[in-house]
Every structure is written in structure tokens, then in C-alpha cells.
């Protein structure tokens, strides 16, 4: 089971010319898994918190295509905060890592590339249950 040490921040390639910037993301090259599902979050009202879950199996890479937000990540023991604020910055969130998304700027579009199809059964949406789940794999450090 992953811990916060398995969270990775990526810089995706950026091709810039006088017409603007272009970033590309290739499965298994820039994202370390086969991408089965993509979703995006947009029209986000000010002040909301999204996420608030961990996964038993699914891995995600998140990119703020426009705008910014803070990702509060926890492995059940420690918490870190990563800010996504550039269209070519990605964060790998492996299974076993809790994510809460906060402080969205106006107009943010958050893209998530995922290793699994949507399956509510592999979500853990209760933090106490999440802690019990990860503890069985990662005993107290």
C-alpha cells in the first residue's frame, strides 16, 4: 500500500511558441499507468471542498488545466499540501492516499486521469475507515 512517499509531482512537457503553449501527456510515458478513465471538475463554486476520499485500487494523476487549488494529502499518518497552479504540473495520487481539494480559484478546471473505471466500491469516503484500512497495510511508522 502506498504512502505519501509515493506521491509524485510531475512537470509535463510544454512546447511554447509565439502562438501559445502546448502540453502533451502520454500514457505510460508521462503518466505511470494505463489510463482507463478521465474526468474533469469545473464550474466550482467558491469556498467548497471536494474529494474527501481515498482509493483501495485507483491511482490518479491530477492537473489544474486552468486555475489553481490546494490538495491536502494524507496517508493516515501525515498530511502534506500540494498546490496545483500550472497547466503542465501534475500530481500522482496513488491508492491508499486520502485527498481533499480546497481553495479553488475562480474558473478552475481540474483534470483527473485514472488507472481504473469508476467503481464506488473501491472508494473510502470515511476518514476513520480509511485510517483503519491503511493501518492493515502500513503499521504505525
Using CB under 6 A, list all residues that contact ligand TYD: 37, 39, 41, 50-51, 118
Nearest residue (CB) to ligand TYD, 77 versus 118: 118
Nearest residue (CB) to ligand TYD, 41 versus 109: 41
Work out how close the CB of 39 gets to ligand TYD at its nearest, in angstroms, rounded to a whole number.
5
C-alpha cell at 18: 509565439
Q: Cβ contacts of residue 91 below 8 Å, gap of 6+?
A: 7, 8, 9, 10, 61, 62, 71, 82, 84
| Rounded Cα gap, residues 111 and 72, in angstroms | 17
Strand order through the sheet with 109-114 = 8-11, 89-93, 60-66, 109-114, 37-41
Of residues 53, 72, 86, 131, which has the active-site annotation?
A: 53
C-alpha cell at 53: 476520499
Nearest residue (CB) to ligand TYD, 15 versus 111: 111
| Rounded Cα gap, residues 88 and 64, in angstroms | 8
* Active-site residue, 53 included: yes
Work out how close the CB of 141 gets to ligand TYD at its nearest, in angstroms, rounded to a whole number.
27
Nearest residue (CB) to ligand TYD, 41 versus 82: 41
Work out how close the CB of 136 gets to ligand TYD at its nearest, in angstroms, rounded to a whole number.
23
C-alpha cell at 46: 467558491
Residues with catalytic annotation?
53
Amino acid at each position: 500500500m502506498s504512502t505519501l512517499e509515493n506521491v509524485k509531482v510531475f512537470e509535463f512537457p510544454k512546447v511554447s511558441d509565439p502562438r501559445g503553449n502546448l502540453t502533451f501527456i502520454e500514457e505510460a510515458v508521462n503518466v505511470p499507468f494505463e489510463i482507463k478513465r478521465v474526468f474533469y471538475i469545473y464550474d466550482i463554486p467558491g469556498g467548497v471542498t471536494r474529494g474527501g476520499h481515498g482509493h483501495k485500487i485507483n491511482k490518479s494523476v491530477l492537473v489544474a488545466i486552468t486555475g489553481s487549488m490546494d490538495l491536502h494529502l494524507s496517508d493516515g499518518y501525515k498530511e502534506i499540501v500540494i498546490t496545483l497552479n500550472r497547466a503542465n504540473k501534475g500530481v500522482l495520487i496513488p491508492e491508499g492516499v486520502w485527498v481533499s481539494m480546497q481553495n479553488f480559484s475562480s474558473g478552475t478546471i481540474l483534470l483527473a486521469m485514472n488507472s481504473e473505471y469508476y467503481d464506488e466500491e473501491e472508494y473510502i469516503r470515511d476518514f476513520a475507515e480509511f485510517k483503519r484500512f491503511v493501518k492493515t497495510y502500513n503499521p504505525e511508522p
